[in-house]
A = this chain, B = another copy of it.
Amino acid sequence: MLEKLKQEVYEANMQLPKLKLVTFTWGNVSGIDREKGLFVIKPSGVDYDKLKPSDMVVVDLDGKIVEGELNPSSDTPTHAILYRQFPEIGGIVHTHSPWAVSFAQAGMAIPACGTTHADTFYGPVPVTPQLSKEQIADDYEGNTGRVIVDTFKKHELDTDAVPGVLVQDHGPFTWGATPDKAVYNAKVLEVVAEMAYHTMQLSGHLSPSVPQYLLDKHYYRKHGNNAYYGQSNPKSMTHEHVL
């Protein structure tokens, strides 16, 4: 079942080592079929070079296995919560990519320091509060999802405009309309974390951030009805903006 989605999720998982986002097996990608209410996720602890599309595990939105002979990723309950609470997302990625983890461990959001950030994230990438002793003791992975959802609610963030988060002391989760786009966002998050780190060191440990109007410009240059980056937008800005 869901053979096409399994292939898609498999290929998205295989992008993680190519993009240097994972060490060993420390990452997972999932993708959802919203009509069926099922999602497909990488099995737990399987080496990337042994992974096959048929290893992908199908689970329902309670995180229970529907099809597959392997245990799904131990982070499956986090994915399940996110799919339930963020109805517009189609794919989720979790990694331990080192620059993003460094910010998560420091308990710091990644500031929007420039246009590379603004092209993908409309504002800082938030960091969740630490999970409490109780949240960790019982249903830890589910509570990891809940603390992400709470962070987005509290700060009134749009999951489309800010397609990622840092779980404090842990690491990044990103998402997107498809598993492939979630992987793209995972890479962008790692790259902007690296750039932000060096920007902050150059600036004497401050967190410089771009003006709001530059954030607007770059984000909407690539997203929404007036986007003009890439090939999918019929209006090239070079036709509009005569010099």
Contact = CB atoms under 8 A, between A and B. Distances in A.
Interface string A83-112: 010000000000010110111111110000
A158 interface: no
Contacts of A59: 238
A237 B79 CA distance: 14
Contacts of A36: none
A202 B204 contact: no
A187 B24 CA distance: 9
A136 B238 contact: no
Contacts of A204: 205
Nearest to A190: B23
Nearest to A184: B24
Contact of A108 (B202, B238, B243): B202
B105 A199 contact: yes
B169 A115 contact: yes
Contacts of A107: 208
A11 interface: no
A103 B202 contact: yes
Interface in A190-243: 191, 194-205, 208, 210-211, 213-214, 217, 221, 228-231, 233, 236-239, 241-243
A196 B101 CA distance: 9
A71 B233 contact: yes
Contacts of A236: 44, 65, 71-72
A98 to B, nearest CB: 5
